[in-house]
Structure 1
Amino acid sequence: MPTQPITLQPNPNAAAGTSTAALRELLERRRAGYSLEAPFYLSDEIFQADMALIFGRHWIFVAVAPQVPEAGDYITVDVGHDSILIVRDDDMQVQAFHNVCRHRGSRLCEAHQGSLGNIVCPYHQWTYDLTGQLIHADHMGESFDRRSHGLKPVHLRNLEGLLFICLADEPPQDFDQLAERMRPYMAPHRLNECKVAAQVDLIEQSNWKLTMENNRECYHCVGNHPELTISLFEHGFGYQPGPQNAEGLARFEGIVRESHARWEAMGLPSAEIETLDSMVSGFRTQRLPLDRAGQSQTMSTEVACKKLLADFPDKALGGLSFWTQPNSWHHFMSDHVVSFSVIPVGPGRTLVRTTWCVHRDAVEGVDYTVENLTRVWNATNDQDRRLVEESQIGVASRAYEPGPYSPYTEGLVEKFCAWYVDRLRAGVSTLR
């Protein structure tokens, strides 16, 4: 029988004081190792809880620092009802503010990306500098205190070129631990010294959790991702061990050990770190070899950009993968970095933003072409869009019930769902 919808307060800003008994019941009866019940993917009320308690309280990945390369460069990011302005100030530091004028609430910057000298409200021309301080406001009287009307800041962390924000008053403190462990892995790729070669936005008609679950496994890769699997070792997808694949698995494990030893000797950390369901700011990383030429996630598996990100002694550095809860994944190679940000738009509508970065001195048409750089992931993203949209249709059926995850190929899906359920429980426990 179909699961009955639950009733929650639809406004995330008024979540406190809401009756959450039905949501608590759904969370408590979640069966480990199985997909979530239908309301988690369909309910507008649970979507609002996700925005308030997951995206409103955790560190979320929203951009790369090369999107704002010069002083005055800015981008805007919408997270639910909140518009966030990210700008590089005159001291070349990246700042984040609520994109809201302190006068009467007008949105300050409408465009997704641009450049400015000061931040000027289009309504009444209140003017802020790039640190968010109010520097000009006509007709407000001699007693008006500009110092108490600066832009409201948003917590921002620049992790080796990846920009994370947190909308909570008190963000999770364990991001410092994440950053300390990840910097040695990411720093050699010098993302802060890159430029954006391409960015593509894709809207998926599905719930954001289906997008994330799909990313966390490659059970579906064979038969669905012909472009991506050119560069991936088949036995890296996850297999149920057995006599028929013992030799292949052993060979792949040997390639991983040999590659890790070679890369570690170059000063490139490669070993797996796994905290996806054991930290509030859950993450995972590992550098894995790529198949064939082993250089990059391209159709030829050779580098897409002739100018490498750093003075690497070898082009074949495999792919350093970095996953974060709740909304991102990234692949660092010798020649480029590709990052993915997942932002919920509605219960059945999700933005997937993909950004490709190359060395800032690389010349398009000489060192790389955008088509070659983006071909694999443009194709893969569109294939994944189709898969998750079909899943969204399926979970809405009265025949849907939570199905079991493969312990061999879907372990990271279970970790995502376990993290999500745990964090939603923690958030619900703070509501009256």
Structure 2
Amino acid sequence: MNPAVKTAAKTPVGESKAVAGRAPATRKGRLSAVTEEQRSEIRELFDNRRKGYSLDAPFYTDPTLFTADMEGIFGQHWLFAASVAEIPEPGDYVTVDYGPYSLIVLRTEEGVNVLHNVCRHRGARVLTEAAGTTGNLVCGYHSWTYSPEGALVHASAPGEATFDKGCFGLKRAHSRVVAGLVFVCLAAEPPEDFDEVSRIFEPYLAPHELSSAKVAFQQELVEEGNWKLVMENNRECYHCDGHPELACSLFPTWGLTEGIIPPHLEDVWDRNVQADQALKDRCVRYGLPYEVLEELDTRIAGYRISREPLDGAGESFSASGRRLSKKLLGDLRDFRLGRCSMHLQPNSWFHFMSDHVITFSAFPINEHQTLVRTTWLVADDAVEGVDYDLETLTYTWKQTNLQDKNFVELCQRGAASPAYEPGPYMKSEYQVEAFINWYVQRMQEHLA
């Protein structure tokens, strides 16, 4: 298992894996536990959403809306689940839980399988650990046993002469592995444009060769906030003055453009412009893509990707900007390549440096809690204590994550107040507006 550290309302509104012979549990258009009257009220909330402003309080606090989110967003769209570095050998698995769903992401001899973690007998969880290694999958309740492909291979059924094991395999979810990242989708018919989007971002990530990386550390934080507040917080740097450790290497002008630079950041902006040009020159030299490409709310698989400079030495997330691991990833030939930054709707963001990679995923627990999982990856031949110091490697983003946790929780408490009303997004928060636009469009399509 990977090393890990775990930190621990308003009134409700009135490579693709074919699904083995059956549709996944989520069916388009179904809102379980939501009455027609509630659905009508939810539609009205979406229809009345004021563009350029944060959402009304029920979007962050209401359990019925959370149920709708789980089916309309997390039950229909492609999600980042894990990296192949977390399951390096056949038999290795991680379990991924969000809302009412639990999935097994399992490495096999042929690739990666994603199975619903629900026994076909009486619904018990089959695998109960967050990660591990297994051969066949054995339910601990009545020992029903499944192959790594999900087929039922053993079920003790005295007197059941006509019992057909072939009808009771584990349900499978769709999956894709792109540049070493594992994506899952529970919909019967997944959105098709993810294939096109993956062809866009894969060239940016491929040189880092995540298939030959390993996990240095994984952190899990439960944030007392709605999943949308977690994502909104991530999609802007308006609050980055609250990240002193991160500001050593990440330019706090991220998201700003010429003409809206505050006076106290003018020198930083000039330094950023110079560093950006130097980075572009290096990318041209090495044949690396670097342009900003973004379609955050204009397609179903919303994304943003770019390669951007880091401050200081420009190598990594350290106080000086210098490398945090002595080993380069993949076939990269230069440490000073800034960071390749990727945002994917609805639940993930990533930083790819030359010396290490950090993946982030947000998994909703309920309407007011979200699990944020952060994973640090280094080259497979990097040796802890020799090539990198674990505390130094993880320090900046451990601190940043705790600070973000506090910001999200401040917003959650505010959204629960009778005095709350939506406020305007600033120009530098355009990605927040794009995320909310994406969310509203997808949910309106689902509710229709």
TM bucket (normalised to shorter chain) is: over 0.9
Q: Give the one of 73, 85, 90 matched to 2:109.
A: 90
1:363 and 2:383 matched: yes
Residue-by-residue CA offset, 1:378-422 (whole Å, 9 max, x unaligned): 000000111111111112222211111111x10000001111111
**2:272–2:309: 8 Å Cα contact kept in structure 1?**
no
Specify every segment of 5 or more residues in structure 2 that has no aligned partner in the other structure, as ranges.
Answer: 1-8, 15-29
Amino acid at match of 1:112: A
SS of aligned partner of 1:63: strand
- Following TM superposition, by how much is the alpha carbon of 1:144 offset from its aligned partner in structure 2, in angstroms? 3.0
> Which residue of structure 1 lines up, in the alignment, with residue 139 of structure 2?
121
* Two-structure CA RMSD over aligned residues (Å): 2.1
Query: Counterpart of 1:363 in structure 2: which amino acid?
Result: V
1:350 aligns with 2:370: yes
Instruction: Pick the aligned partner of 2:247 from 229, 235, 239.
Output: 229
Which whole-Å CA distance do the structure 1 matches of 2:364 and 2:252 have between them?
Answer: 32
Moved more, 381-390 or 251-260: 251-260
The equivalent of 1:153 in structure 2 is 172
Change (3 A) 1:242 1:179: closer
- State which drifts further: 18-27 or 195-204: 18-27
Q: Deviations over 1:305-358 (max 9, x none)?
A: 111112322100100001011111000000111011101111111111100011
Alignment of 1:283 with 2:303, yes or no, is: yes
Letter in 1 for 2:334: D
2:321 counterpart SS class: coil
For these two proteins, the number of residue pairs brought into alignment is: 422
User: What is the match of residue 292 of structure 1?
Assistant: 312
Give me the whole-angstrom Cα distance separating, in 2, the residues matched to 1:264 and 1:54: 38
Alpha-carbon distance in 2 for matches of 1:88, 1:423: 31
Residue pairs, 1:172-187, within 5 angstroms? 172-187=191-206
Tell me how far 1:240 sits from its aligned partner.
6.6
Runs of 4+ in 1 over 4 A off after TM superposition: 2-5, 14-19, 242-251
Moved more, 17-26 or 99-108: 17-26
What TM-score results when the alignment is normalised by the length of structure 2?
0.90
**Closer, same or farther: CA 14–236 of 1 in aligned 2, 3 Å:** closer
Measure the CA separation in 1 of the matches of 2:225 and 2:253: 29
Q: Name the CA distance, whole Å, in 1 between partners of 2:35 and 2:378.
A: 45
Compared with structure 1, are the counterparts of its residues 256 and 345 closer, same or farther at alpha carbon in structure 2 (3 Å cutoff)?
same
> Equivalent residue for 1:13?
32
SS at structure 2 position matched to 1:271: coil
Give the secondary structure class of the aligned counterpart of 2:446.
helix
Q: Conserved in 2, the CA contact under 8 Å of 1:77 and 1:84? A: yes
Pairwise mapping of residues 15-414 of structure 1 onto structure 2 (< 5 A)?
A: 15=34, 19-91=38-110, 93-139=111-157, 141-222=160-241, 224-238=242-256, 241=259, 244=263, 249=269, 252-407=272-427, 409-414=428-433
Shift of 1:139: 3.1
Q: Residues 36 and 240 (structure 1 numbering): CA distance in 2 closer, same or farther, change over 3 Å?
A: farther
What CA distance in whole angstroms lies between the structure 1 residues aligned with 2:337 and 2:239?
A: 25
Shift of the 252–385 alpha-carbon distance from structure 1 to 2, 3 Å rule, reads same
Contact 1:100-1:107 within 8 A present in 2 as well: yes
Q: For residues 35-68 of structure 1, what are the alpha-carbon distances to aligned partners after superposition, in whole Å with 9 as ceiling and x for unaligned?
A: 1111111111111111111111111112111111
Mapped partners of 1:15, 1:279: distance in 2:
28
Q: CA deviation at 1:133?
A: 1.7
Unpaired runs of 5+ residues, structure 1, are none
CA contact (8 A) 1:89 1:95 kept: yes
State how far apart, in whole Å, the 1-side matches of 2:138 and 2:266 are.
64
Name the aligned partner's letter for residue 382 of structure 2: A
| Cα distance in 2, alignment partners of residues 37 and 6 from structure 1 | 12
